[in-house]
Amino acid sequence: MAEYGEEQGPYPMRVQVLPGSRAESLYYQAARRHGDERIDSEALAPGVSPSPEDDLIFRGGKSVPQMGFQNIYLGRSSDFASDDIESIDDAITRAMRDPGLTNVIRQYFPGEQLSCDVAESIVLEEARPDEMDEPAVQAKIIELFDRRLLLGSDHDRTLFNLVLPPGTVLRLDDASSLDGLGGYHGSVHFFRGGERKTLYYSANVYSELRGVVKQGIPVFDASWMNVVATLYHELIEFQTDPDVGDAIRENDRRFIGWNSPFGQEIGDQRISANRLEEVFKRVVTQPGSKRIPVQLMYSNAVHGAEGPIDQPH
């Protein structure tokens, strides 16, 4: 796990983890070890209840009101179940553009207009990796840049989502998707043509149950729905806290956009404090009143998870 100076406040989180899992334990141990405030055990109790102590604080770092994303599917089309890719692309696009869900997020962007551009997704049509750690994720993102496969009009505000195929294990530090890790986001810096480039990425597990083997966070019966919930988690955390990776690398909380007094991002506390079925929901989106799977995000206005609302706070 990356070093982080205690003088910088609570250890920043940037992961989606299963409650009660080894992955959760690793990251909450880091939060306790580096935090300047203790984690209240009551905040980790099952059930949804207001918890104002978890309200998000703006730390002064970057946020991305006008954002974009591109889904990049590792492996081959044949690695995924029929219609999975189409279903994932449609649902996450609807989630990021739904007025009701967006109304919840507007409270973190006072006076700003929110928007989300969607680049065409791609399937790499290459051999499925058995596992990927963060150096491999970063190397893949740079490789895709060099191959000119990364789209989006402005890479500085675009999240490139690597969607792992079924069976591929994701790792981050000492945690893995076999321990309850669902995904994470970060950034990578490199030079091309004498210029410093920055790319933002997320790595997303194909969460499912295979016999007795649990991958990631398998909440919904249909595995593609679990992928959508993870993507939504990572996209909203990118929108509100894109440079958390730099905060960890540089030991500097000033890179942080929004997080809680305990270092948790907008999607972290809600998983840890509640039963999964209270946090992962199928919600009605517009246009067409279509139901899609998402993970509900933390709302300062209600001090807890909040679903779609008709008007912003």
Establish if 35 belongs to a structural domain.
no
Establish if 27 belongs to a structural domain.
no
* Residue 299: Cβ within 10 Å count: 22
Which residues form the domain of 129?
61-257+275-303
Average pLDDT score over the chain: 88
Q: Helix, strand or coil for residue 198?
A: strand
Contact in structure between 254 and 59 (CB atoms under 8 Å): yes
Establish if 23 belongs to a structural domain.
no
Whose CA is closest to 231, among 129, 84, 114, 128? 84
Establish if 38 belongs to a structural domain.
no
Establish if 240 belongs to a structural domain.
yes
Judge whether residue 130 has pLDDT over 60: yes
C-alpha 298/C-alpha 108 separation (Å) is 11
Contact in structure between 152 and 120 (CB atoms under 8 Å): no
Establish if 49 belongs to a structural domain.
no
Looking at residue 268, its pLDDT comes to 87
Read off the pLDDT band of 1 (50, 70, 90): very low
Read off the pLDDT band of 3 (50, 70, 90): very low
What lies within 8 Å, CB to CB, of 182 at 6+ separation is 15, 16, 17, 18, 204, 205, 207, 216, 217, 226, 230, 233
Q: Give the model confidence (pLDDT) of 58-105 as tens digits.
A: 999 999 999 999 999 999 999 999 999 999 999 999 999 999 999 999
Looking at residue 42, its pLDDT comes to 36
Find the helix or strand (DSSP H, E) in which 103 lies. helix 99-105
Average pLDDT over every residue of 233-261: 95
Least confident among 25-39, 141-155, 174-188, 217-231: 25-39
Establish if 188 belongs to a structural domain.
yes
Establish if 28 belongs to a structural domain.
no
Judge whether residue 272 has pLDDT over 90: no
Q: Give the model confidence (pLDDT) of 8-61 as tens digits.
A: 566 787 877 776 777 777 766 655 544 444 333 333 223 456 778 889 999 999
| Count of domains observed in the chain | 1
